Structure 1
Amino acid sequence: MTKLCIKTLLVVLTWLGLAACQESPTGRDQLALLPDTVMADMGRKAFAELKRSQPLVTDPGINAAVQCIAGKVIAAARDEFPPELMPDDWEVAVFLNPAPNAFALPGGKIGVNTGMLEVAASPAQLAAVIGHEVGHVLADHGNERMTQQLGIESVLYVVGFLSEGEMGQQQLLQALGIGSQLGISLPFSRAHEREADVMGLGLMAAAGFEPDQSVQLWRNMAALGGGQPPEFLSTHPANESRIKLLEAGMAPARELYRAVSPANCPPVVL
């Protein structure tokens, strides 16, 4: 590498460092090197590919119920968070998949599996799931994870400083932990998961969904059977740890809930 290239690279790295050192919505320091526009474009392309390759639910009743719940949570997010954190538009798709999972991609793309609709037994419980996923997007967790996982050199390739290559959709999904069957495999760190839980709890309450139902959702998840690995073996908080975290934040969430009109979304009937 020539001296000019090295100097240019140092300037770029300095610029990226200054631009990317930031705080998450809860005040946690984070490093997210990819520009928001790049992340959003990658998220849109990846979501389009998922919709082409995975079966979608076409039942209008199911889609309307899920869209109602998601719409309430997203509207609450617009009221609670600065506009620069919010994608311009959101899209929600329901995938015909028995795995009890949901995910979110940069650019405002949310996927919910039918398996999750069986675990989330009420609109409020599904609002807890969607609020959690919206929290991941608003906190820029995907960007932070990709920065950590790919490293600075790969990030520079993505933004076009070292080549004209483009990060593929599959690499984005892999970095976010979304497998080919939409299963989630260690997608975020414990810090990310806890942060999304806290943000999601506030969002569902501000949207008019009873926040206590978030605890019931994770009790439902714990009752699925099959057991969980010890918490230290997984980046996901164990169900009991998650429940304790939610219960600790329940008082302010209840205050938010009492200050708004209850949401009136219909239950999802599979």
Structure 2
Amino acid sequence: MLKLAPFVLLLLYGVAMYWFSSWRTKRELDMQSTPLADARLKALTDRFARAVGVERIKVHIYEIDPVNGLAAPDGRIFITRGFYNKYRRGEVTAEELASVIAHELGHVALGHSRKRMIDFSGTNAVRMALATVFNRFLPGLGVVIANFLVSVLAAKLSRNDEYEADAYASALLVKANIGTGPQKELFRKLDSLTGVGGGMPAWLMSHPKTAERIRAIEENEARWKIAPEG
């Protein structure tokens, strides 16, 4: 039992750090967000609401410039001001932006916030354990090696979540009679919209590469026997 105590403490430390990060994120979002008030987007999210059998889907604008969408740990959906501005300038259609909302709804519906807490706590414990072992043989380098290995593992877990949320979004878009065309078209635009290139090795990325995400959507369409769009 005593031998397990350090690992239990590491897990508890990971949980505590996750909850602190969630609290800090919630506070920042509360201070820097406003409700989304756009008639066209509301009409699309109302279609999502009818498709999943809820009264309304609330979306907020997170007042920061980077192009992104996110699902907060408390289940709220956010689109950044930078992303919304792209839509207002016509660089992104309402249906394309709605596909982002559908993706974030997928994270909420699939319990990814709770899963990330478990993943974060577990990988933190693994990081500390590996660092302790490697430091015995490679003093000074053990932490570096442990951090690298855990980063690869965390990136893999994150990519799996993104694929799952993409699949949920595809199903929701189809059920809402919007289709997957806007979802795939947005992915084709994503690198230019975000200013992020594809130079990083795939196994270090927290999100799958664009071409792989589109391929996964089309594979789902084939399994679901849905005629491809876009």
- Scaled by the length of structure 1, the TM-score of the pair is 0.54
**CA shift at 1:141, angstroms?**
0.9
The residue aligned with 1:196 is 165
Aligned to 1:92, which of 50, 55, 59?
59
State the one-letter code of the partner of 2:59. V
The residue aligned with 2:180 is 211
Please tell me whether residue 227 in structure 1 is matched to residue 205 in structure 2. Answer: no
Query: In 2, distance between residues paired with 1:236 and 1:253?
Result: 26
Alignment of 1:42-81 (within 5 A): 49-56=27-34, 60=37, 62=38, 64-78=39-53
Please tell me whether residue 245 in structure 1 is matched to residue 216 in structure 2. Answer: yes
Aligned to 2:107, which of 130, 133, 136?
136
Q: Deviations over 1:215-236 (max 9, x none)?
A: 1000010333441322111121
State the one-letter code of the partner of 1:97. I
Alignment of 1:10-25 (within 5 A): none
List runs of 5+ in structure 2 lacking aligned partners: 9-14, 126-154
Q: Deviations over 1:41-90 (max 9, x none)?
A: x98x77762344215377x4x3x3333322322332338xxxxxxxx975
Higher Rg: 2
Higher helix fraction (1 or 2): 2
Query: In 1, distance between residues paired with 2:66 and 2:96?
Result: 17
Q: Which one is further off, 218-227 or 122-131?
A: 218-227
Alignment of 1:118-129 (within 5 A): 118=86, 121-129=92-100
Query: In 2, distance between residues paired with 1:208 and 1:121?
Result: 19
TM-align CA RMSD: 3.8
Q: Cα distance 1:46–1:76, how it changes in 2: closer, same or farther (>3 A)?
A: farther
Contact 1:103/1:111, CA 8 A, preserved across alignment: yes
Runs of 4 or more, structure 1, over 4 Å off, are 45-48
The structure, 1 or 2, with the larger RCO (C-alpha pairs under 8 Å, 6+ apart) is: 1
List runs of 5+ in structure 1 lacking aligned partners: 10-33, 80-87, 155-185, 258-270
Query: In 1, distance between residues paired with 2:77 and 2:157?
Result: 16
Please tell me whether residue 146 in structure 1 is matched to residue 124 in structure 2. Answer: no
Query: In 2, distance between residues paired with 1:253 and 1:101?
Result: 31
**CA shift at 1:125, angstroms?**
1.0
Contact 2:60/2:78, CA 8 A, preserved across alignment: yes
Contact 1:135/1:197, CA 8 A, preserved across alignment: yes
- Scaled by the length of structure 2, the TM-score of the pair is 0.63
Contact 1:100/1:113, CA 8 A, preserved across alignment: yes
What fraction of aligned residue pairs are identical, expressed as a percent?
Answer: 25
Q: Cα distance 1:57–1:253, how it changes in 2: closer, same or farther (>3 A)?
A: farther
- What is the count of residue pairs matched by the alignment? 179
Q: Cα distance 1:187–1:135, how it changes in 2: closer, same or farther (>3 A)?
A: farther
Q: Cα distance 1:50–1:209, how it changes in 2: closer, same or farther (>3 A)?
A: farther
